[in-house]
Structure 1
Amino acid sequence: MTNNAAVDGGLQSAMRRALELAAHGPATGVNPRVGCVVVNPAGEILAEGWHRGAGTRHAEVDALAQLAPDAAHGSTVVVTLEPCNHVGRTGPCAQALIEAGVARVVYSVTDPGEHSCGGAERLRAAGIDVQGGLLADVGEAFLGDWLSAARLGRPFVTVKWASSLDGRAAAADGSSRWITGAEARLDVHRRRSASDTILVGTGTVLADDPALTARDADGGLLARQPVPVVVGRREVPASAALFAHPQQPLFFDGLDLSALLADLHTRAVRSVFIEGGPTVASAFVAAGLVDEYLAYLAPTLIGGPRLAITDIGVATIGEQRRLSIHSLDRLGDDVLIVARPLTP
């Protein structure tokens, strides 16, 4: 007699292992991080695999490659994302699983890709038992900005600012170093490194001459550096610090923000980290193109006109843009509030 609770627990354990494997893959770029575990009918792990980046074997094929021919016959494949159903740089994983003779496929998140989706249907048509949605909340959280970019057809957009408790991002003379403390600034650099791009306006470049790099506590460059994106029509001098950035900067006039994001999407950019200034950040907010807000609040008061966000098209209180608090963290003396737009 089959113990269904034990079977379900075993699948959850295998899925958690698949998520651990997926974390070995690159966190940025066009491809998702995917992990795969192949188990036999007794629940024993036969093989493991993960996707190592564009052009490499997908997680399912990577796991199958660890096995001898026919060794996967009758097995259960546990994978974090629905097996793909298209030919790109590699063949469709759904077909590879069919040819391997697996009996069952269990996945966490449905593939939202226009060209890559449909793997589950292809597997079922071949007589394979398919179950989707296992630990879906965990899988969705893990895939994060890639999943959002795949669904929206544009990069995931984060707007960040650091301000006093009264919402000021700088003093009246424009000086802003430093409102927040060292722990908050290190957190910003960590998040920069995790993003594909870092975006600012020409006003910020001309006023502050930022390097737009991601750095450690000692000022050294982190291993991953976001591509600088500069928005605006004013000319940036050749002596600007951003031209010494390890990545080649990209420039846009900013007249059409949706077109800007569409262009970045074609360049395999899946995340945009907007650091300012207030004019550019507010333009993205007003256009409804922000997916996440990071507000670093320092326990200080500044007053004056230098607000973190300016006009976003709210003329009356009924038009205010309500957000939901995703997380709230203490960073030294500062507080980080992560908020996201309310979904309808």
Structure 2
Amino acid sequence: MTLTSSSRNYAPARPRLTSDPQQDAVHMAHALRLAKRGLGNVWPNPAVGCVLVHDGRVVGRGWTQPGGRPHAERMALDAAGPLARGATAYVTLEPCAHHGRTPPCAEGLAQSGVARVVSALTDPDPRVAGKGHQMLRDAGIALTQGVLAAQAAELQAGFLSRLTRGRPFLTLKLASSLDGRIAMANGESQWITGPAARAHVHALRAQHDAIMVGGMTARTDLPQLNVRGIQTPQQPVRIVVSGQALPPLAPQGPDHGPLWRVEGSCDQILADLAQRGITRVFCEGGGRLAASLLGAGLVDQLIGYSAGVMLGAEAQPFVGPTGWEHLADAPRFRLVETRTIGPDLFHRWRAA
């Protein structure tokens, strides 16, 4: 990227800072914790965190604000003020290099006089894609890349998926009995898991852009599909996959996000959601939709809550018919995390 003559004047008298891998990891972990606050609230923008450190002391920090602006770097620079000069900036994603509603963050960092920038990931957005890093180098700023890259990629999974795969990152949530049942034969299902697990579900909903269910679930359960019990800057979009008319679900308002009815093949639905800016989808069933998503290989993460109860073969399974004839046809997932939440077992799996 070609810099203007004024841009070339950012660099004089910048101190040369040496890297300390251990301290870099500590401050980047701090920035990642800040970035997590933006999940579910900033789409289609990435949830970014930024920490400014001067002489070993944090002088400014920020994270992407609801709606996607201001950006994390701008928040941290404003908090630091003149203390940004000579500081090290820890950013969880490459600073943006393009002019949008706000000037490029790479330019803002250069103008502030920071001496060094540590980033976790290169932004795959074609408008950035290394250009932000190059702007920093051209301004005479020391640059360290790839610090806690794996952790940052995990946090940015939705943003990265939308840009590189053309679809959101999809989590399938299943709450069931020990024998894999989600409801009695007559439809009774409240409540299989305990209140602690249900509260945990709401915390996960708040970190997603959208909550998705199938049409049968919408018509049978009349779910609210919102975040309750915790404060969130904005409610997730409610998505119902159905080719039929929907029952009268709650209207959009401060307690409910917009309601979108979608239809078509699962891969086309997810591609359309990506086009509309959605990066992270939390699917809560039902069984037929879960089977379709699994069969199409579109489930990136499984979240399970297992209660200490057995419902029997006549109860409803959490995955509908799949048509798989051989064990080799079934998708495999790797266990990432397991722990107890109240009396229930929580387990998280990623696509193998």
Look up the match of 2:236: 226
Deviates more, 1:117-126 or 1:199-208: 117-126
Structure 1 pair 121–225 and aligned structure 2 pair: CA distance change class (3 A): same
Look up the match of 1:263: 272
Aligned positions of 1:118-129 closer than 5 A: 118=130, 119-129=132-142
2:107 to 62, 70, 95: 95
Aligned positions of 1:133-144 closer than 5 A: 133-144=146-157
Look up the match of 1:322: 332
Distance 1:164 1:260 in 2: 30
Q: Deviations over 1:288-331 (max 9, x none)?
A: 11111112222222212621112334221122211101111212
| SS across alignment from 2:345 | strand
Task: Establish whether residue 196 from structure 1 lines up as the match of residue 209 from structure 2.
Answer: yes
Aligned residue identity for 2:249 = A
Look up the match of 1:171: 184
Cα RMSD (Å): 3.0
Look up the match of 1:111: 123
| SS across alignment from 1:162 | strand
Given that 2:45 and 2:68 are in contact with CA atoms closer than 8 Å, whether structure 1 keeps it comes out as no
1:51 to 61, 64, 88: 64
Distance 1:228 1:180 in 2: 23
Q: CA deviation at 1:251?
A: 0.6
| SS across alignment from 2:277 | coil
Aligned residue identity for 2:205 = R
| SS across alignment from 2:324 | coil
Look up the match of 2:52: 38
Deviates more, 1:8-17 or 1:205-214: 8-17
Q: CA deviation at 1:262?
A: 2.3
Give the structure-2-normalised TM-score: 0.82
Look up the match of 2:4: none
Q: CA deviation at 1:283?
A: 0.9
Task: Establish whether residue 290 from structure 1 lines up as the match of residue 304 from structure 2.
Answer: no
Deviates more, 1:270-279 or 1:240-249: 240-249
Q: CA deviation at 1:21?
A: 4.1
Given that 1:228 and 1:242 are in contact with CA atoms closer than 8 Å, whether structure 2 keeps it comes out as no
Give the structure-1-normalised TM-score: 0.83
Aligned residue identity for 2:46 = P
Look up the match of 1:15: 28
Structure 1 pair 3–228 and aligned structure 2 pair: CA distance change class (3 A): closer
Q: Deviations over 1:93-139 (max 9, x none)?
A: 22333344544221122222232321223333444321111122333
- Hey, which bits of structure 1, 4+ residues long, moved more than 6 A? 2-5, 220-223
Structure 1 pair 22–222 and aligned structure 2 pair: CA distance change class (3 A): closer
Aligned positions of 1:210-249 closer than 5 A: 210-216=223-229, 224-237=234-247, 240-243=248-251, 246-249=256-259
Given that 1:231 and 1:251 are in contact with CA atoms closer than 8 Å, whether structure 2 keeps it comes out as yes
| SS across alignment from 2:181 | coil
Deviates more, 1:136-145 or 1:106-115: 136-145
Deviates more, 1:9-18 or 1:224-233: 9-18
2:165 to 152, 172, 175: 152
Look up the match of 1:303: 313
Given that 1:171 and 1:303 are in contact with CA atoms closer than 8 Å, whether structure 2 keeps it comes out as no
Q: Deviations over 1:152-194 (max 9, x none)?
A: 3322211112222222222222322222222222222222233
Distance 2:17 2:219 in 1: 67
Deviates more, 1:151-160 or 1:220-229: 220-229
Q: CA deviation at 1:31?
A: 2.0
Gaps of 5+ in 2: 1-15
Look up the match of 1:281: 290
Structure 1 pair 96–202 and aligned structure 2 pair: CA distance change class (3 A): same
Deviates more, 1:122-131 or 1:271-280: 122-131
> Aligned pairs, how many?
332
| SS across alignment from 1:169 | strand
Structure 1 pair 187–36 and aligned structure 2 pair: CA distance change class (3 A): closer
Given that 1:278 and 1:307 are in contact with CA atoms closer than 8 Å, whether structure 2 keeps it comes out as yes
Given that 1:212 and 1:242 are in contact with CA atoms closer than 8 Å, whether structure 2 keeps it comes out as no
Aligned residue identity for 1:177 = Q
Aligned residue identity for 1:246 = H
Given that 1:160 and 1:275 are in contact with CA atoms closer than 8 Å, whether structure 2 keeps it comes out as yes
Task: Establish whether residue 251 from structure 1 lines up as the match of residue 267 from structure 2.
Answer: no
